[in-house]
Amino acid sequence: MRIKCIAIDDEPLAVKKMAGYIQKIPFLELVAECRSAIEAMSFLSKVDIQLLFIDINMPDMNGIEFVKSLTNKPYIIFTTAYSEYAVEGFQVEAVDYLLKPITFSNFLKAANRVKKLIELTDSNKKEVIRATADHLFVKSEYKLVRIELCDIKYIESQHEYIKIHLINNKPVMTKLSMKSIEEHLPSNRFMRVQRSYIVNLSKIQVIERNRIVFDGKVYIPVGEQYKEIFQKYIEGNFV
């Protein structure tokens, strides 16, 4: 297991210290060192990040404000020199809260906590999906729900869950990763167009400014790493 993570702190020595700790832990993979929340946004839009080590007290946008702004939250470990932020940090479902100066032993304990959560989630995801050429069975609210592939409009990631949006029924929530369900969908009918979205290609009716529009109100921007393959699909179907 390799957990992709980002270290975010406006203090150069602090972010370097976190990066050094991350590189000492075999199951962590450092994707980027960022000096601000705004800088981190660009990485989150391009790479599937599972864990953020983020300082709270930063200029422009503090760590808690940044985490609240995320629609698809990775696991969060806050770092700060100010203990008064602890309660607010846990209110946004942070896994841990590390008070500076951070020792390696405390850093490792927090990282292990995330590792155990991911392992538990992965074990819960096993054998929860059954697929054929035309339908899926997924677990939702302690029930097995049959979903016809032709009824799916798009699939949206919501951290540990995915929401399957359907044509004539309410969305179905299930505890699966995007990678898991993508592996069970026919690639000639479904395409991942963003880190958090898979679309049914046959349901696309409007594309506007590199955004896929569903029902005139849902706008799904095509992510940078998916633009080339999506453009090839469009060109192959352009009259």
pLDDT per residue as tens digits for the range 202-220: 999 999 988 999 988 899 9
Structure tokens at 34: 């960022």
pLDDT band, residue 118 (cuts 50/70/90): confident
Mean pLDDT of the chain: 87
Instruction: Give the side-chain half-sphere CA count within 13 A for 96.
Output: 21
DSSP secondary-structure letter at 134? S
Residue ranges and CATH numbers for the domains of the chain are 3-125 (3.40.50.2300), 132-236 (2.40.50.1020)
What is the pTM for the complete model shown?
0.56
Please give the share of the chain, as a percent, with pLDDT higher than 90. Answer: 49
Q: Do the Cβ atoms of 97 and 75 come closer than 8 Å? A: no
pLDDT at 127: 43
pLDDT per residue as tens digits for the range 23-66: 999 999 999 999 999 899 888 878 889 999 999 988 888 888 89
pLDDT at 191: 96
| Spatial CB neighbours of 50, under 8 Å, sequence gap ≥ 6 | 3, 4, 5, 74, 75, 114, 118
| pLDDT at residue 69 tops 90 | no
Measured between alpha carbons, how far is 78 from 61 in angstroms, rounded to an integer?
14
Judging by beta carbons within 10 Å of its beta carbon (0-12, 13-18, 19+), is residue 55 exposed, middle or buried? buried
